[in-house]
Structure 1
Amino acid sequence: MKWILDLLIRILITIPSMIFIWALVYFLFHHLFWLSSAVSIFAGFVIYQWLKWMMTGKFLKQQGLSRKEYRFIRKNLKEAKLKMKRLQKAFLSVRQIDTFRLFYDMYKLVRKIYSLIKKEPKRFYQAESFFYVHLDSMVELIEKYALLNTQPVQNKEMIQSVQETKRTLQELHHEVEKDLYQLLSNDMDELQFELEYAKRSLRHKHPLSRHERRNSTK
């Protein structure tokens, strides 16, 4: 993953820099061990943070985002991750196989959308309805369903409420699928364009005649 590679690069640059600075200060200031250690640790922290800032800036330039926008998107992702934990906890308490399958499929959709946005934050603005409407509704409804469905005693009204909640969740499942399709719409358009271009190239590619092949070797 990209963030792991970036982390390794920062570490591989920071540690040798700290060792060099430690040795430099140690020999320049008459073998003061604690001073050398303090300076090298401080310098290492500064170097690491500077590298992180530079790498983030390069990433944001590729994404076409400002640092303010990126902080806003990261805040939404952090909140979404907490909601995903609530979803997981709720659907794991369900015992009916068909309902569990529905909830699991919904959770997979949520994870897919979350992963796409985390990898490419610029896609966030294509999925605002997911973050501001559908995810919140999903969490509330699944938690409500799990609570009502696990009660030891259920009356007619509770059973109707559970069934209605499940129907609403099925509809919401389709809406979240649309959110994912919306996120992938540009990719599908680009793929379609590449396919059309490849087909057109194949249609217009004719084998060389004997005369053309002879001339091409001269």
Structure 2
Amino acid sequence: MNVAHKISGWLAIVGLLGAFLITCYQLPVSPAITPTPIVVIDPGHGGQDPGAIGAQGVYEKNINLSIGLLLSTLLRQRQIHVYMTRTSDRAPSAPPFHNVRDLRYRAYLARQWHATIFVSIHTNAEPSGIAQGPIVYYASGSVSSWELASQVSNALARVTGKVITPRPIRQLVLQEVGVPAINVEVGFLTHSLDTSRLINSQYQSQLAAAIAEGIMQYLNRGQ
């Protein structure tokens, strides 16, 4: 057998051995795994910081927490990972309380928890007593935040019957979280009808359900 035939034979053997190894040892290709979204819910104020105070002595901090807890339950039922910046009547940052430090700490928590989106819950107030209804603010300059705000705003409009276009805002906590972020102002404690609704547990549940619906619409977009 000449040299050329020997080389050709060895190449054939190596090729067969390679094909055998690939067939036997090739790892199966796993389908792409989409990580479960992480939603951070931020009930505004808390502890010595009451937020707005309604004419009937209603504290904003309590409304925010109640709706935030309802929202967290609804999202968890949909297999969403949820973290809350507070679950009781206390500010998340350590005392002594300072507003800016507290807001920065809430944003810090969201980053530590690797939030997919950040949803702050607040209750509005204004001196004229005329303004009414939920308003969704979004991190100024963020298209994704606007998309999230639009979905939540549309869902809230189906509950309240009042359509209010989402509004951009340069709010410290929304700017610092680094992910799509919104502030849902669920109503005005300076408006008598809003206040009577906001202290009603059934209405709070309806608001939480609408916010959850908007969040899910945003998370499921493109599917």
Say which structure is richer in strand. 2
TM-score by length of 1: 0.26
TM-score by length of 2: 0.25
Structure number with the bigger relative contact order (C-alpha 8 A, sep ≥ 6) is 2
Say which structure is richer in helix. 1
Bigger CA radius of gyration: 1
